[in-house]
A and B are shown apart, each in its own frame.
Chain A
Amino acid sequence: MTPSEQAALRQLADIPGVVGSMVFDVSGTVVLSEFPAVFDTAALAGVASRLSADGYFQEWMSGEQGTLDLRFVDGHVVLRSLGSAWLLVLCTLQSNAQLVAMSLTQVVRRLRMSPPAPPARVEPAAPPAAASPLEQLRLIVARELGAHSAQALEILAAAGARPKDLRRAIDEIEKLVRLFISKKKAEEIGGRMRAVLED
């Protein structure tokens, strides 16, 4: 990530009605992100991962001219191809579509022109920092439930960090999934989450 790339995303964030933006690559990794702190990074990573793994999305957004506008009841999402990555912008309904489109053209050009990041030095792999149980649970929820993970992530966010609180949160998430998504998925996700706590 270069300062000019981050500045380009910040430029977008200054437009009235633009909530945030991020750049993610073909592997689903979020390369750049300019979202307010209230946005859950795991959920954003989940969105990037799901989109980049979708065959239709890849086909539609292939090349440098790929563009996609997703309209929802309370906002819209604009996606632009950057060649080997994609730019995602979340806007409210109050945003001015023409202004966003004009700014996007500039930002996309800046992002494409920015020099490629120097190849990372290959260093002996450091042991990965052990993620907290809460963080692991959030990852499981984001991966397993994808677009339906918002409510479950809220339950986890509201739970405390003590094992007892997390166990209660897991029960609640399992119940949520059983009632509204799938019984099989509930057993699966419940088992995986409990295994994290037992570890």
Chain B
Amino acid sequence: MNYGAYALAALAIVMMGVDVVLAVRLRRAIVGGEVGQKWGLLTMLVGVFFVGYLLSPLALYYQLPAEYLNLLVFGVFLFGAVFVWVVIGIIRDTLTFLKLVR
């Protein structure tokens, strides 16, 4: 049994659970607008990640075949890239409004 991997998965699930709560709370606090829409997308992505994180120990336990595991890993990479893209968009909007961009 790879206890180290299970421990990391458990830690990741707890952290992502907290992130889900924070993201949903902030989503409710944001009135709307473009930033609100982007935050909605971001919250959805956090939710997708959370579901993936919950399933990750099962992938370990059932020793998912390498082909599926690769698909999972690259899927996470893709969603991660979209996540970063949305975060950059929100930060750019905010900084542009605050005139903190050269």
A148 within 8 A of B: yes
CB neighbours (8 Å) of A175 from chain B are: 97
- CA A186 to CA B32, docked complex, whole Å: 11
A19 within 8 A of B: no
Please provide the chain B residues from 31 to 89 with a CB less than 8 Å away from any CB of chain A in the complex: 31-36
Chain A residue with minimal CB distance to B30? A180
CB neighbours (8 Å) of B30 from chain A are: 180
- CA A175 to CA B92, docked complex, whole Å: 13
- CA A178 to CA B32, docked complex, whole Å: 9
- CA A185 to CA B92, docked complex, whole Å: 22
Contacts A175-B97, A176-B97 given; does A183 touch B31 at CB 8 Å = no
Please provide the chain A residues from 163 to 183 with a CB less than 8 Å away from any CB of chain B in the complex: 175-183
CB neighbours (8 Å) of A180 from chain B are: 30-33, 35-36
- CA A148 to CA B94, docked complex, whole Å: 17
- CA A176 to CA B94, docked complex, whole Å: 9
Q: Give the interface centre of B31, B33, B35, B36 by most chain A CB atoms within 10 Å.
A: B33
- CA A175 to CA B35, docked complex, whole Å: 11
CB neighbours (8 Å) of B33 from chain A are: 177-183, 186
Q: Mark A115-144, 1 if CB is under 8 A from B, else 0.
A: 000000000000000000000000000000
A179 engages B93 (CB within 8 Å):
yes
Instruction: Quote the shortest CB–CB distance from A122 to chain B (angstroms).
Output: 44
Please provide the chain A residues from 151 to 199 with a CB less than 8 Å away from any CB of chain B in the complex: 175-183, 186
- CA A182 to CA B30, docked complex, whole Å: 11
B97 engages A148 (CB within 8 Å):
no
Instruction: Quote the shortest CB–CB distance from A104 to chain B (angstroms).
Output: 31
Q: Which of B34, B93, B97 contacts A183 (CB 8 A)?
A: B34
B31 engages A179 (CB within 8 Å):
no
Instruction: List the interface of chain A (C-beta within 8 A of B).
Output: 148, 175-183, 186
Give me 27 A-to-B residue pairs in the complex whose CB atoms sit less than 8 angstroms apart, sorted by A's number.
A148-B31, A175-B97, A176-B97, A177-B33, A178-B33, A178-B34, A179-B33, A179-B34, A179-B35, A179-B93, A179-B94, A179-B97, A180-B30, A180-B31, A180-B32, A180-B33, A180-B35, A180-B36, A181-B31, A181-B32, A181-B33, A182-B31, A182-B32, A182-B33, A183-B33, A183-B34, A186-B33
Instruction: List the interface of chain B (C-beta within 8 A of A).
Output: 30-36, 93-94, 97
Q: Beyond the given A180-B30, A180-B32, please list 12 additional residue pairs across the A-B interface where CB-CB is below 8 A.
A: A148-B31, A178-B33, A179-B34, A179-B94, A179-B97, A180-B31, A180-B35, A180-B36, A181-B31, A182-B32, A182-B33, A183-B34
